Amino acid sequence: MAIDDDGWDIEPGTELRRTELHARYGGNRQSGIAPIAGSSNILIFTGDGGGQYGYTYDGWHEDGTYHYTGEGQTGPQDFVRGNKALSTPGRRVRLFRDGSKKAYVEYVGEFRLPEQEPWYYGESAGSDGQRRRVIVFRLEPLDPAVVEPPEISDGERPKMRGDVDLVEEAESSAEYSSESNGKPLAPKSDHDKWSSDKPATKDELKRDGLAEVIARRIRNFSNDEPDASFLIHIDGPWGTGKSTILELLKKKIKDDYLVVEFDAWKHASVSPSWWALLAQLRAEISRDRGRWWSRARFRIAEVTRRAFRGSTPYIATALIVGLALLGVWIAWPYVAPPKPAASLVSSAKLWLGVVGAIAAVALVMSRFVWWESARGAKRLEQVHKNPMDEVTWYFSWLLMSSKKRVVFFLDDLDRCNDRHVVDLLDSVQTLVRDSPNEGGKAAYFVVAAHGSWLRRSYEAAHEPFKGAVDEPGRGLGHLFINKLFQLTVPMPTLSAGTKKTFLDKVIGFQKTDGSVEKSGDAGQTSAEQDDQLDSELRIAESDEEIMEAYRAASPEVQARNVHRVVESFESVKVSETREHTLQKFAKLLDSNPRSLKRFTNTYGVLRSVRTLEGSDVESDTLAFWLVLQTRWPILTDYLESNVNALDDAEEGFQLSLLPDELKALREDPELHYVLRRMPDGVKLTPDAIRACCGAQAVPDDDESEKKEEPAQET
């Protein structure tokens, strides 16, 4: 290997133990920033565990630099110790990150601080949970080959700059300037407008109403059927805000439900999958108990129940015998007559053997009773004849031990490989299906993932069976997903107005014309218009009555009150009317009871989603579209993807327009039957399809050019 002037002989990509690294070059083994004495080299370390200490800015930036949070876990960071050393010009910065094995680090490469804006101030929570100022260094790699794409952020460890609201950031910068003891702040630049990719906790895209709809569904179902589980799928491509929906939903249900957040991608390497779920559930139940003695009682009860459970009674017996022998040993000196020295030595040997036996019993108990690691869970699978019976019993016992009903949030499943996706979802299905439910408590799961990713995962995992059970318009992946979830919630698309409003918020644009909101045509104030819409929503008894009141309002009133509208769809009287109205579509659905339930569950949510998007679609049209989506999802997926290429025929879509790869659909007699019985007034025109699925229309080039042409004089 090449050796530079400082004796450095490690190539980028090399992994080694951190102890070996410091043994060779020196530096503090415990510090994230470790200068090497007598050398221009300085070692810096980053890893996934830094988020809990506030080191949330670490990661590659789009300009090719690596941002690195300074040293200091609590309080405002200053240029002392490691931060001072790292800011010194001329340093050869050696970046390391977590290796593939524990205690190993991987060398990323050599970096330097740029002359322009070498660092800036950011803000993050310290290890004590308090917001504080942090120093963020901008590192330029000497070798461009080590540059990686910008990293995807998550709620625990955002990678990019702009972690705070722009207004708060400006106020914080001014405050920090007065506290910097005369030190010059980093120069301002356009980087101050960067926004992080972490899930939002404030509703900027009218998603709060959808979160309220999901929350009400969870409450209603848990009240109506407390001993039955319910699985909800939040479906949307990457970047559509699924994690944000989970954040908003958590705020609405956390007082009544124990929310167990499970990042599937972080646990992708853990096997078996069920152990990670149960370990997370147990940790949340213990944390929810608050006081240490309450948590201790929970742990004692857990160990005791598992010790006396099923196929391991011998463990409890050994424990009881061991404790009894220990008690006799302790009491023996007080009740036994004196013995000569030789007898004492012999007795000591005997009791040392007893202690060894007790230790062996404790070891066995720890292996078979305490599932403190994935290795112990694997051992359980190997030892027990019916390990999943033990697992489902333990899952049910944990649910009974929780003070609240349990809701799992499964996120980032669409970042995992197909095998882990299937294993995890199969584990979920096994837990909710086979758990004894002795206490009448059931768990609810909300899975946020791209539906196409889940379907492809099942199709890849069950490739030998592909085609064996497929149906026209419904593949193997669709069948698995339909069987798993009782409700699918599509993520709303963004209307043009919502996009503009959100973009203005992101870039910090503010209106400067001093205009104020105008009153209605009848001279009403904004509050009066809102009250009028609210009163009409209160007396509405059907979806159509709600939509009529919504259509009659001005665009400004609609934008302010769209959350009230979607919440009105969930009222009891509207739901009862909806069930009666949807009865006419029952003959168009197949005879599978699961399809009937899925149709009823999904319609109300789909109506809410389309309203949030600003799509004004008739109830019968939306219901008929949902019939097609329930029975022939491949057809509706095709129409959604190719809607802008369809002819604008007033008579609506025709099966003859389908390509040859969908020949089975063109010839499906069931589909022909359903299309012939389309309700009066329903036509699947391109505009109707866009309104039903949330697709955006592509403007015609000729029409766009005409709009740009100035009017000619006549």
Distance CA 655, CA 24 (A): 72
DSSP label at residue 508:
T
Would you state the pLDDT for residue 385?
67
Domain boundary among 193, 220, 248: 193
- In one-letter notation, the amino acid at residue 590 is D
Strand residues in 257-395 grouped as ranges (E): 257-263
Residues 66 and 131 in one domain: yes
Would you state the pLDDT for residue 93?
93
The model's confidence at residue 421, banded by pLDDT at 50, 70 and 90, is very high
Residues 101 and 247 in one domain: no
Residues 502 and 649 in one domain: yes
Among 115-119, 325-329, 497-501, 697-701, the range scoring the smallest mean pLDDT is 697-701
Domain ranges, residue 446: 208-305+405-489
The model's confidence at residue 410, banded by pLDDT at 50, 70 and 90, is very high
From the list 586, 668, 600, the residue with the least C-alpha distance to 632 is: 668
Is 342 inside any structural domain?
A: no
Residues 503 and 627 in one domain: yes
| Overall domain count for the chain | 3
pTM above 0.85, yes or no: no
Residues 67 and 117 in one domain: yes
Calculate helix-pair angle for 374-383, 387-401, nearest 10 degrees: 130
Contact 536, 567 (CB under 8 A): no
Residues 672 and 622 in one domain: yes
pLDDT tens digits for 200-235? Answer: 556 667 788 889 999 999 998 888 888 888 899 999
Contact 92, 41 (CB under 8 A): yes
- Mean pLDDT score of the chain: 77
Is 99 inside any structural domain?
A: yes
Is 517 inside any structural domain?
A: no
Is 605 inside any structural domain?
A: yes
Rank 85-89, 269-273, 436-440, 599-603 by mean pLDDT and report only the highest. 85-89
Would you state the pLDDT for residue 156?
39
Is 369 inside any structural domain?
A: no
Residues 589 and 501 in one domain: yes
Residues 457 and 499 in one domain: no
Would you state the pLDDT for residue 614?
81
User: For the chain, what is the total number of helices (H) and then of strands (E)?
Assistant: 26, 14
Residues 607 and 671 in one domain: yes
Residues 438 and 585 in one domain: no
Residues 128 and 223 in one domain: no
Would you state the pLDDT for residue 504?
64
Domain boundary among 151, 166, 193: 193
Region 17-46 average pLDDT: 86
Is 46 inside any structural domain?
A: yes
| 505-to-150, 204, 493, 497 alpha-carbon distances in Å | 23, 8, 18, 12
Residues 85 and 186 in one domain: yes
| Stretch (H or E) spanning 405 | strand 405-411
> Which CATH number characterizes residue 87's domain?
2.30.280
Region 90-105 average pLDDT: 88
Is 439 inside any structural domain?
A: yes
Domain boundary among 489, 518, 552: 489
What is the token pair recorded at 662?
């969908």
Cβ neighbours of residue 685 under 8 Å, at least 6 residues apart?
Answer: 648, 649, 650, 652, 653
Is 644 inside any structural domain?
A: yes
Would you state the pLDDT for residue 268?
83
> Which CATH number characterizes residue 446's domain?
3.40.50.300
